[in-house]
């Protein structure tokens, strides 16, 4: 059942462009998978998504003719197990893939699947090399990223830097948590969870054994919340103080609101605003679990802000391409380029709208979880040109290969007290 679940998830993503996390969760529940089987289904599904172009390259060397989409998905799953999962015997990967053909009504493809995967297994120590080493086309296949994405990345980081980012995209992402210092100390929390300091920010910890950490006593007692180091650094750049009036304009799932409230020692007010009412419910529940009383949830569209300009600080973690979190969400690499090219318009609209919330002397911290210049400096530079009452104070791009964090852009802009 875990292999069938992974296959169904791949098919839904391929057919409907569905988001991987939502699809897998729904199918895991539908198929009533136990914890161990659910973990295997997730490993197979995400691993295959993560290496799809490379798997297709290898399969093309052993499979002739046009393949039906579902048969190709079955071959991808089987080849992933043979080439990337040492704990699965080759014969088991082959036989389970043939069985998948039968279970999904493709028994007629069983012979083909058997023959192709046997050849993959026989040749896995002598696989064909991806051609064009030192080119964007090579990186695109070797690390299974669309060519256009690789070309944009090489323009920013060069060939070697781009390869380092792509390699990091295909490596496991650590689970990073932030200490609720209003309830405990980083040292005590690290001891309770067998975690260690991330080495960048005080109170930021990396879990060695993620397990079911949300079922731990420490989580239930509100001693920590989950947040990547990069997102926490956005709040560090904002530097919230006790007594401030803060707007988190695109708040869900709430990490930055929590970080602000804790830094403010739960004194002042944090307005957590989001367009999604259901997601705001999660922010409210998180604030209650953490014991934070100054967070006030408010539904609203960030690009239609009409309130007063009385905020000392506004956080704008705007909707973006998400290319900086591919290692956590491998399907993001397959988003449409045309779709992503529309994002700077939305981001500029949000930034223009929430700029009216900042009082003279106050600051905006604009952030995205992407490295695309068009969504980052392209947006903030255009904003500053159109809004001379703001000045850029600091900006930074974080990289998974260089900083060990999500890929992130941070920019603090301050409204002049007078023009």
Task: Spell out a b/e string for 160-169, using b for 16 or more CB atoms within 10 Å of the CB, else e.
Answer: eebbbbbebb
Spatial distance between the Cα atoms of 320 and 343, rounded to a whole number of angstroms:
6
Spatial distance between the Cα atoms of 136 and 309, rounded to a whole number of angstroms:
47
Both structure tokens of 150: 């690789």
- Whether 101 is catalytic is no
Asked whether 139 and 98 are in contact (CB, 8 A), the reply is no
Nearest 10 degrees: Cα torsion 340, 248, 24, 177:
120
Spatial distance between the Cα atoms of 268 and 282, rounded to a whole number of angstroms:
21
Catalytic residue among 101, 198, 320, 369: 369
Which spans in 177-276 are helix H?
186-193, 217-220, 229-238, 255-263
Asked whether 145 and 169 are in contact (CB, 8 A), the reply is yes
Query: Phi and psi (nearest 5°) for 243?
Result: 90, -5
Altogether, the residues listed in the chain come to a count of 419
Spatial distance between the Cα atoms of 333 and 323, rounded to a whole number of angstroms:
7
Residues 6+ apart with CB under 8 A from 115: none
Which spans in 331-417 are helix H?
337-340, 343-354, 377-386, 400-403
Q: Single out the residue of 117, 66, 69 nearest to residue 96, CA to CA.
A: 117
Spatial distance between the Cα atoms of 344 and 319, rounded to a whole number of angstroms:
9
Q: Which residues are catalytic?
A: 369
């Amino acid at each position: 059942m875990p292999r069938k679940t992974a296959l169904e998830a791949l098919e839904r993503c391929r057919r409907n462009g569905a988001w991987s996390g939502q699809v897998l969760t729904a199918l895991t529940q539908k198929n009533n998978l136990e914890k161990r089987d659910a973990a295997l289904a997730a490993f197979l599904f995400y691993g295959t998504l993560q290496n799809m172009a490379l798997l297709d390259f290898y399969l093309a060397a052993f499979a002739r003719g046009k393949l039906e989409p579902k048969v190709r998905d079955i071959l991808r799953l089987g080849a992933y197990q043979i080439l990337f999962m040492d704990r699965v015997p080759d014969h088991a990967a082959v036989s389970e893939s043939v069985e998948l053909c039968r279970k999904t009504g493709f028994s007629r493809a069983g012979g083909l699947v058997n023959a192709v995967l046997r050849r993959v297994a026989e040749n896995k120590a002598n696989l064909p090399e991806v051609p064009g080493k030192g080119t964007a086309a090579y990186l695109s296949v070797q690390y299974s990223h669309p060519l256009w994405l690789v070309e944009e990345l090489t323009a920013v980081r060069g060939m070697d830097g781009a390869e380092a980012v792509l390699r990091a995209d295909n490596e496991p992402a650590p689970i990073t948590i932030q200490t609720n210092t209003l309830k405990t100390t980083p040292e005590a929390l690290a001891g309770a969870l067998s975690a260690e300091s991330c080495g960048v920010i005080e109170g930021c910890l990396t879990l060695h054994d993620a397990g079911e950490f949300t079922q731990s006593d420490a989580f239930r007692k509100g001693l920590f919340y989950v947040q990547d180091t990069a997102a926490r650094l956005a709040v560090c750049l904002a530097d919230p103080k006790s007594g401030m009036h803060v707007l988190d304009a695109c708040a869900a799932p709430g990490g930055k609101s929590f970080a602000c409230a804790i830094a403010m020692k739960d004194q002042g007010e944090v307005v957590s605003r989001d367009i999604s009412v259901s997601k705001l419910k999660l922010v409210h529940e998180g604030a209650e679990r953490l014991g934070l009383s100054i967070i006030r949830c408010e539904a609203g569209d960030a690009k239609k802000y009409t309130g007063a300009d009385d905020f000392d600080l506004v956080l704008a973690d705007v909707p973006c391409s998400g290319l900086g979190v591919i290692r956590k969400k491998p399907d993001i690499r397959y988003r449409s380029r045309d779709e992503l090219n529309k994002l700077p318009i939305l981001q500029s609209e949000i930034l223009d709208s929430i700029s009216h919330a900042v009082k003279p002397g106050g600051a905006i911290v604009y952030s995205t979880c992407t490295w695309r210049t068009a969504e980052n400096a392209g947006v903030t530079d255009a904003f500053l040109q159109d809004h001379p009452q703001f000045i850029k104070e600091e900006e930074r791009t974080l990289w998974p290969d260089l900083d060990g964090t999500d890929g992130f852009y941070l920019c603090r802009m301050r409204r002049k007290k007078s023009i």
